[in-house]
Amino acid sequence: MVIKEIEVKGIMTKSNLPVSDYSVNPYVGCAHACKYCYASFMKRFTDHPEPWGEFVDVKNWKPIQKAEKYAGKEAFFGSVTDCYQPCEAKYMRTRLLLEQLQGSGISISIATKSDLVLRDLDLIKTFPNARVSFSINTLDEKFRSEMDKGVSIERRLDAMRQLYEAGIKTTCFISPIFPRITDPVAIIETAKKHCNLVWLENLNLRGDYRVRILDWINENHPELNDLYHNIYSKKDRSYWSELDTKLREFTAREGMTYLRDDDSRMSSFGEPPVVVNYFFHEEVKKSAKNKSSNKT
């Protein structure tokens, strides 16, 4: 792993995401090295010859001045990196940013695959409407270890539980859903008592990881080749439509609210989580654009 420190002009970047006003990424690159990482396109903006997942740039920035200007806004931590990847234990860039924003009135949401986030529970609790999401797309540790270098699923679920019990709103982000490999129902059953929200997102193959994933399927699950060819070459959406129906029926039986493309609702503590389906990316993209326009 190649790690170096870099100087940046600022850390708060205005965001076009419908879930936040700012995106913050204290690192460039990510040691979790997910095989399906959509952020791998970031490599082209670096001087690194190393493959994505084998380098991390640690950002240094000038202290934030007049942080109160962010009052009423929301910042999303980790849009193209994991703010709690292993090097955070040493460099503490994420904790520093939380300290600089503390008391400003900004809301925060954090996405991670690490239980290191528990270290900063004392700070996270001081932010209004703070929430933390954990990416969990399998309960099979063997499959997880082949897809990413984050902490185990057991550790993620335990961290989710601890945050939830501490009064932090949590999201179980079931993404990406690998057709016939990921079992969303089993994951929801496991996590439902410790999260306010469940997001469902399908595996969306694009960029340089498309070939990598399809080669992995061919080598490890050749019986799924035809299914993946239909989905990702012929653009057949029937699998996702059938899964949508299955999940709608399951959540109805469980008394859970089931929505499409709506990130504005979360359950209260002690209630079943709200479940949101983001299967159809072209629809989500159009909706996100509309939401962004309405915000401005």
User: What pTM was computed for the model?
Assistant: 0.91
Identify whether 176 is preceded by a cis peptide bond (ω within 30 of 0).
yes
Q: Tell me, what DSSP letter sits at residue 261?
A: S
- Say whether pLDDT at 216 is over 70: yes
Q: Which residue has the tokens 């694009």?
A: 206
Residue 296: predicted pLDDT: 38
What are the φ/ψ torsions at residue 74 (nearest 5 degrees)?
Answer: -130, 140
| SS3 (DSSP) at 187 | helix
Record the tokens describing residue 73, joined without a space: 């806004």
| Residues pairing with 6 in the sheet | 59
Other CB atoms within 10 A of residue 253 CB:
7
The rounded distance, in Å, linking the Cα atoms of 104 and 93 is 18
Q: What is the pLDDT of residues 21-80, one digit of tens each?
A: 999 999 999 999 999 988 777 777 787 888 888 999 999 999 999 999 999 999 999 999
Residues across the chain: 296
Residue bearing tokens 């012929």 = 234
At position 92, the amino acid (one-letter code) is M
Phi-psi region of 91 (alpha: psi -120 to 50; beta: other; left: phi over 0): alpha
Q: Sorting pLDDT into bands at 50, 70 and 90, what band is 283?
A: low
CB 163 within 8 Å of CB 196: no
What pLDDT was estimated at residue 16? 83
Quick one: pLDDT band at residue 271, thresholds 50, 70, 90? very high
Give bridge partners of residue 170 from the DSSP assignment: 132
159: which strand partners?
none
Token pair, residue 104, equals: 């400003």
Residue 281 pLDDT greater than 90, yes or no: no
CA distance 239 to 229: 12
How far apart CA 78 and CA 13 sit, in angstroms, is 12
> Helix (H, G, I), strand (E, B), or coil: what is residue 5?
strand
CA geometry: angle at 43 spanning 177 and 281, to 5°? 30
